[in-house]
Amino acid sequence: MDFLYNVFAVLHFVGWAIVLGGYIASIKGSGLYRGVFHGAATALVAGVLMVGTAEMSGMWDDGGPSMAKIGVKLVIALVIAVLAFLAKRQGAKGDNGTGPVSPGLKHTIGALTLVNIVVAVFW
């Protein structure tokens, strides 16, 4: 089960890297890369599977992370995934799926991604 947990952890990190990298790469432009939604969905699903695997295997019987922390990260990840989906749909109306996205929407995705990383590291 440790191996499976580590596979989900790698997928979780890669998903957040795609979200943050896609946001940073699109800061100067008016659009947002479609991969941001896929990265957010990957990170969300992998995070849920990480927690489920750790709980089933008893990996966290000695304490583990706070369930409040996991709940906060889950809510933030859900919001990011929904916002990324909305940005993907908004951008699909433009040039070949890479049309303009509201700056507030795009920067909210980036800010919440950083908040989720800070919560993971410092809580």
pLDDT band for position 62 (cuts 50, 70, 90): confident
Average pLDDT, the chain: 92
Region 66-74: what's the mean pLDDT?
95
Place of tokens 């433009």: 94
pLDDT for the residue 91 = 83
**Which of 28, 22, 11, 8 lies closest to 109 in space, CA to CA?**
22
Residue 97: is its pLDDT beyond 80? no
pLDDT for the residue 96 = 59
Residue 95: is its pLDDT beyond 80? no
> Exposure string (b/e) for 16-29, b if CB count within 10 Å is 16 or more?
bebbbebbeebeee
pTM: 0.91
